[in-house]
Amino acid sequence: MISLKNVMKNITLITGGVKSGKSSYAVKLAMQYDKPRIFIATAEAFDDEMRKRISRHKQERGVNFKTIEEHIHLSKALKSSTGSICIIDCITVWINNLLYYEKIEEIELFLDTLKEPPYDVVIVSNEVGMGIIPDNKLSRKYADLLGATNQKIAKTADNVIFMVSGIPLYIKKGGITNEFT
């Protein structure tokens, strides 16, 4: 596990497949910080299954975080709260919300906020580049948009962690990548 504590305005992106341990690992990282810890939740409970998922996530983080439910305006949510660390969970659902509500312009506002975040941020997002090409136009647009957004966040981030079966793989640590250039 990397130590983020006492590093100024650090951005960490945690990506990976569905149920790979991304959210749990984000909480572990954020628990290194003193309160106040902030959790920005992007999911909306449209059905019972999603309500159960949201409830499970709330139980996992307990009373250790101030939760802000923000489905669209991540930039405003980051700027309007104070804390030592913030988890944003997750970009995957947020991009879906932006497509649904036709608010794609919010992506650039959020990315601009990440240039100078008000405090350390841990961002959770699914990796979409490892599956088949979707069979319909909307799904392809979603995958393209999420993939492009993840790449922009990763470029800005100090740390990029890829989760596989609950195990973190460090792709970028302290701004240093594992790329061969």
Taking CB atoms within 8 Å and a gap of at least 24, the contacts of 43-52 are 43/71, 43/90, 43/93, 44/71, 44/97
Residue from 22, 57, 61, 71 carrying the catalytic annotation: 57
Active site residue 71: no
* Residue the block writes with tokens 């405003």: 76
CA distances from residue 41 to 7, 45, 142 in whole angstroms, order as listed: 24, 11, 19
Q: Is the dihedral of CA 71, 73, 74, 79 positive or negative?
A: negative
The edge-to-edge listing of strands for the beta sheet with 11-16 is 66-69, 37-41, 85-89, 120-126, 11-16, 159-164, 167-173, 176-177
State the catalytic residues: 57
